Amino acid sequence: MKVGLGFDIHPLVTNRKLIIGGVKIKYEKGLLGHSDADVLTHAIMDALLGAVALGDIGRLFPASDEKYKNISSLILLDKVVFLLKERGFKVENVDAIVICQEPKLLPYLENMTKNLASHLKIDFKNINVKVKSAEGIGNLGKGDAISALAVTMISPL
C-alpha cells in the first residue's frame, strides 16, 4: 500500500465556468487556470502521482503546453489512473476537502463523488468529499479563491 497527499488552489474570476469534481457549479465566477482549473480533481491527481513518486500535475501536464488549455481535468485524471495501472497499482480510496466560502457545495457533493469514483475506477463508497468554510479568513475566506486537499491510498493490482 502507498499513500499520497495532494493540494491545489485557484483564484475565482469572472467569465469562467466553475467546475469542481467534474461537476459544473452554478455560480457567477469560475476558477482561473490553464485547464478547467478543477481544484478537487487536481488535488486528487497530485495525491495519486505523489503516491507513485511521479511528481505533480504541473510537471506531467504543463501550462506551457497548449494541448491542455481548457481541457477537462477528468481527462487528465483518466491519464493519471492509466499511469498508476502501468506501474501496477490501483486506487483504493480517496478522502478530500474542498475549502471555500462561496458557493455552497453541499448540493453537488453526491454528483462529485459519483463522478470522481467512476474515473478513479473505485466504488463511490470509497471516496469521501467534504466541504469546509474558511471562516472569513484570508483569500479563501473572502471568496477570492477555492482550494482542495486530498489523501489517497493505492495498492498493487
DSSP-assigned beta bridge partners for residue 128: 95
How many CA atoms, within 13 angstroms, populate the side-chain half-sphere of residue 129? Answer: 27
DSSP state of 104: -
Q: How far apart are CA 12 and CA 19, in angstroms?
A: 11
> What residue spans define the domains of the chain?
2-156
Mean pLDDT of 112-139: 95
Q: Dihedral of CA 98/81/59/12: which sign?
A: negative
Question: pLDDT by residue (tens digit) across 61-108?
Answer: 998 999 999 999 999 999 999 999 999 999 999 999 999 999 999 999
Per-state percent for the chain, helix, strand, coil, to nearest 5: 35, 30, 35
Structure confidence at residue 61 (pLDDT) = 94
Mean pLDDT of 31-47: 97
Residue 122 pLDDT level (bands cut at 50, 70, 90): very high
Mean pLDDT of 46-59: 96
Greatest CA span in the chain, whole angstroms?
44
Structure confidence at residue 136 (pLDDT) = 87
Structure confidence at residue 73 (pLDDT) = 97
Q: How far apart are CA 85 and CA 80, in angstroms?
A: 9
Query: What are the φ and ψ backbone dihedral angles of 80, each rounded to 5 degrees?
Result: -65, -45
| C-beta separation of 22 from 45 below 8 A | no
The Cα-based distances of 70 to 58, 65, 99 in angstroms read 14, 11, 22
One-letter amino acid identity for 148? A
Query: What are the φ and ψ backbone dihedral angles of 13, each rounded to 5 degrees?
Result: -140, 165
Predicted structure pTM score: 0.96
Superfamily the domain 2-156 falls into: 2-C-methyl-D-erythritol 2,4-cyclodiphosphate synthase (3.30.1330.50)
Selected residue with higher pLDDT from 89 and 135: 89
Look over the chain and give the mean of its residue pLDDT values, rounded to a whole number.
Answer: 96
Cis peptide before 107 (omega within 30 of 0): no
Mean pLDDT of 124-139: 93
Q: How far apart are CA 37 and CA 8, in angstroms?
A: 9
